Amino acid sequence: MRDVSRHRVALVPLTVVAIAAAVIGADELTKRWARHALSDHARHVLGPLWWRLQFNSGVSFSLGASSAPWAVMVSSAVLVGVLIAAVRSAPGSASVGWGLVLGGGLANLWDRLLSPIHEVTDFVALGRFPVFNVADSAVTVGFVVLMVLIVRGRRVFR
């Protein structure tokens, strides 16, 4: 029985890493598509949903706009905390939640660091809601997963 527990614990970080990697890959592919396909005009998708290319110099929802070095420092500090938490995540849904948060955060930091203008590519416009991307969605969904687990009294750490 003890060997099964060790095996399970070893899989938790692997789950987090796999989900984070999937988010980073999906985010990178969709941002490349958006920078190419939407460079000259927005595209209406359905109802209030539009593909609209926009660049964000701040952190979430353009907070701290025009301060890219500040955004990099804040994002990096938060990601260190998320990484520490993710490595200690409980198996199951908590690992999924931490993987989504970590992957989304890393994807946006990666985009900002590689961008010549040090801004994050956003392209999903939904009504009056701020324009966002796959990484933002992953962070939001991951956070909701973790909050639901906490409210239900479930463990999010080993």
Helix, strand, or coil (residue 49): strand
Helices H, strands E: what count in the chain?
4, 3
Q: Is 122 a catalytic residue?
A: yes
Q: Is 40 a catalytic residue?
A: no
Find out whether 126 and 52 touch, Cβ atoms under 8 Å: no
Residue of 27, 40, 111, 122 with catalytic role: 122
Strands (E), 22-141: 43-46, 49-56, 120-126
- As beta bridge partners, residue 50 has 44, 125
Other CB atoms within 10 A of residue 42 CB: 14
Helix, strand, or coil (residue 127): coil
Q: Enter the tokens of residue 58.
A: 């701040």
Other CB atoms within 10 A of residue 57 CB: 18
Other CB atoms within 10 A of residue 19 CB: 22
Q: Which residues are catalytic?
A: 122, 136
